[in-house]
Amino acid sequence: MSKKLIFEMSSVGRTGYRFPDLDVPDLPLKDQVNSSLLRESIPVLPEVSEVDIIRHYNGLSKRNFGLDSGFYPLGSCTMKYNPKINEDVGSLPGFTNIHPLQSEDSVQGFLELIFETTKSLSEITGMKWGTLQPFAGAHGEFTGMKLFKAYFKKRDELHRTKVLVPTSAHGTNPASATIAGFHIEEIQADERGLVSVESLKNQLTDDVAGIMLTNPSTLGLFEKDIIEIAGLVHEAGGLLYYDGANMNAIMGKVRPGDMGFDVIHLNLHKTFSTPHGGGGPGAGPVLVSERLVDFLPVPDVKKDGENYFLDYNKADSIGRVSGFYGNMAVLVKAYAYIITMGSDGLKKASEYAVLNANYLKEKLKGTFHLYYDTTCMHEFVLSAKKMKEELGISALDIAKGLLDYGVHPPTIYFPSIVPEAMMIEPTETESKETLDYFVKTMLEIYQKAKDNPEELHEAPRNTPVRRVDEVMAVKQPILKWHAE
């Protein structure tokens, strides 16, 4: 059954909320403001009761799959459990009711939280200092690329406009570097799936500004040659950017700063357990090495004795990247997670994330083609290429088949260097039983592919809607509801 839109439930005269009565004089608006400013058009908003609202959204939530409903091995997205205490502390009135332009003296709690979170994240990543302003990973990448620019401007090296990005990188990497004013050159992977040091050498020309890497890469492989790569890039006068999407593999084990990176963004909504909220709000803090500290956005948060203050006095800063201080509600939850886990827990989290991934990989690789057959980090990539050729079952069919088992599919068709890719990231918060259930499900799907492939082509059957017509959505875009 398709679900009504809230607009289709509307009935003239209903309301879901009662405002207090107006207790100051109710003077005609046009006596107080130029009537040419007043609105005449009447928007069509729903008129529903509070009961309608809660049933509508509760109904919608039943048509949505969240991590709390089941396994969510969406590669590169680190769908780990979102602890409930974080939601509780996130809604403390001493946080929610604070205005961003209150006096410094009245927001010491927030400033301390920003300071402490920046300090912890700097330690975890091996960096010097950072900013929590960026609202999401891509926003962090953009901030990092602006830091590159500021650095080269200061050194009078603005001819450095080339940023190297692996073909397997997240799409945001080249997009972020481009809007920051760089041009992109792709780096090819070698037969190991790693950055080819030999071809990298040829790309390190005079105009190179740096390189953006995810390590472990989107293939779930650690770039073993990272020390050499960092040396080469620095020698060529470039900088190294670390896409922290895969930080969940290495906390307490190895730090991007120690690998030689100059800038890193983190996705707090991945590694640091804050919820993804169906696509946001997230948070993409940026941490930097010593050489880039002066360029960080304003305001910075500093400590003077017992007092915290906002520092705008940074001559070389790239400026503001967001309206205020970032998605504070997300930062509060991430801080709660950091102190919950501590140095010992964060390390264990990464160890178990890698353990879980390798276990799944071993269990599945006999049946599904493991594209790079080696030890993986927190995720690994299977290829359905053979299945497609031999059985006509694609990665998409497998993904849709999984939906009927109450499992969220892996990331599919990414990274593009693996044909029919299925990128699986179990995370550390899943038990062996859950992993075993996933293995059993995948094996059943494989069997189905052999015995009854039609069933997979037609999957899913038990979901609120079945496969949707994406082409029609593009060809005849309907992007809002229209009153009949």
Partner 1 sequence: MFSYLPQTETDIREMLKVIGVNSIEDLFKDIPVEILKKTPLDIPEGISEYEVLKRLKGLSEKNRQGLSFMGCGSYDHLIPSVVNHVLQLPNFYTAYTPYQAEISQGILQSIFEFQTLVCELTGMEVSNASLYDGHTAASEAITMALNTRKKADRILVSGTIHPNTRAVIETFFSDNPVKIEEIETKDCVTSLDALRETIDESVAAVLVQTPNIYGWTEDLTGFADLVHENKALLIISSNPMSLGILKSQADWGADIAIGGTQPFGLSTYFGGPSVGYISTGTKLTRKMPGRIVGQTKDVDGKRAFVLTLQAREQHIKRQRATSNICSNQALAAMASGVYLSTVGWNGLKTAASQSFQKAHYLYKRLTEELGLKPLADQDFFNEFTLIIPEADRVLTDMESQGVFAGVGLGQFFPDQKNAVTIAVTEKRSREEIDAYVDLMKGVLK
Q: Does 34 bind partner 1 (CB under 8 A)?
A: yes
Q: Under the phi-then-psi rule, with left for phi > 0, alpha for psi from -120 to 50, and beta for the rest, what region is 116?
A: alpha
Beta strands 411-412; 380-383: pairing state: unpaired
Among 71, 131, 141, 301, indicate the residue that binds partner 1 (CB under 8 A): 141
| Distance of closest approach, residue 445 Cβ to partner 1, in angstroms | 15
Q: Does 415 bind partner 1 (CB under 8 A)?
A: no
Among 144, 326, 401, 426, indicate the residue that binds partner 1 (CB under 8 A): 326
Among 118, 176, 246, 289, indicate the residue that binds partner 1 (CB under 8 A): 176
Kindly calculate the radius of gyration of the chain based on its CA atoms and give it in whole angstroms: 25
For 339, other C-beta atoms within 10 Å of its C-beta total 11
Q: What is the DSSP letter of 21?
A: P
Indicate the burial class of 141 (C-beta count within 10 angstroms; 0-12, 13-18, 19 or more).
buried
Stretch 381-400: interaction string toward partner 1, x if CB under 8 A: ------------------xx
Q: Which residue number, 396 or 449, has a Cβ lying nearer to partner 1? A: 396
Q: Which residue number, 186 or 389, has a Cβ lying nearer to partner 1? A: 186
Site for partner 1 in 238-267 (CB under 8 A): 250-255, 258-259
Angle at Cα 326 formed by Cα 320 and Cα 329, nearest 5°? 170
Q: Does 3 bind partner 1 (CB under 8 A)?
A: yes
| Distance of closest approach, residue 388 Cβ to partner 1, in angstroms | 19
Tell the residue number behind the tokens 């459990």, with chain if given. Answer: 81
Q: How far apart are CA 282 and CA 279, in angstroms?
A: 8
Q: Which residue number, 244 or 460, has a Cβ lying nearer to partner 1? A: 460
Among 71, 129, 135, 405, indicate the residue that binds partner 1 (CB under 8 A): 135
Among 272, 325, 372, 405, indicate the residue that binds partner 1 (CB under 8 A): 325
Indicate the burial class of 349 (C-beta count within 10 angstroms; 0-12, 13-18, 19 or more).
buried
| Distance of closest approach, residue 390 Cβ to partner 1, in angstroms | 25
| Distance of closest approach, residue 475 Cβ to partner 1, in angstroms | 10
| Distance of closest approach, residue 18 Cβ to partner 1, in angstroms | 9
Beta strands 208-213; 239-244: pairing state: parallel
| Distance of closest approach, residue 465 Cβ to partner 1, in angstroms | 4
Q: Does 431 bind partner 1 (CB under 8 A)?
A: yes
Indicate the burial class of 472 (C-beta count within 10 angstroms; 0-12, 13-18, 19 or more).
exposed
| Distance of closest approach, residue 202 Cβ to partner 1, in angstroms | 21
Backbone angles phi, psi at 93, to 5 degrees: -60, -25
Query: Which residues pair with residue 380 across a beta bridge?
Result: 424
Site for partner 1 in 65-124 (CB under 8 A): 65-69, 72, 74, 77, 79-83, 85, 87-89, 91-103, 105-110, 112-113, 120, 123-124
**Contact at 8 Å (CB) between 182 and 146?**
no
Find, among 32, 31, 30, 25, the residue nearest to 40 by Cα: 30
- DSSP labels for 326-395? S-HHHHHHHHHHHHHHHHHHHHHHHHHHHHHHHHHHHHHTTTSEESS-S--SS-EEEE-HHHHHHH---H
Q: Which residue number, 91 or 386, has a Cβ lying nearer to partner 1? A: 91
Q: Does 424 bind partner 1 (CB under 8 A)?
A: no
Site for partner 1 in 279-318 (CB under 8 A): 279-282, 284, 297, 318
Peptide bond connecting 281 to the previous residue in cis, omega within 30 degrees of 0: yes
Collapsed DSSP state (helix, strand, coil) of residue 45: coil
**Contact at 8 Å (CB) between 134 and 285?**
yes
Q: Does 154 bind partner 1 (CB under 8 A)?
A: no
Site for partner 1 in 196-215 (CB under 8 A): none
Q: How far apart are CA 131 and CA 154, in angstroms?
A: 20
Among 342, 386, 451, 454, indicate the residue that binds partner 1 (CB under 8 A): 342
Q: Please name the amino acid found at residue 242.
A: Y
Q: Does 409 bind partner 1 (CB under 8 A)?
A: yes
Q: Does 278 bind partner 1 (CB under 8 A)?
A: yes
Q: Does 319 bind partner 1 (CB under 8 A)?
A: yes
Q: Does 437 bind partner 1 (CB under 8 A)?
A: no
Among 71, 429, 438, 442, indicate the residue that binds partner 1 (CB under 8 A): 429
- 456: tokens are 């997979």
Peptide bond connecting 415 to the previous residue in cis, omega within 30 degrees of 0: yes
Q: Which residue number, 320 or 450, has a Cβ lying nearer to partner 1? A: 320
Q: Does 366 bind partner 1 (CB under 8 A)?
A: no
| Distance of closest approach, residue 102 Cβ to partner 1, in angstroms | 6
| Distance of closest approach, residue 308 Cβ to partner 1, in angstroms | 9
Among 202, 305, 477, 484, indicate the residue that binds partner 1 (CB under 8 A): 477
- 390: tokens are 């031999």
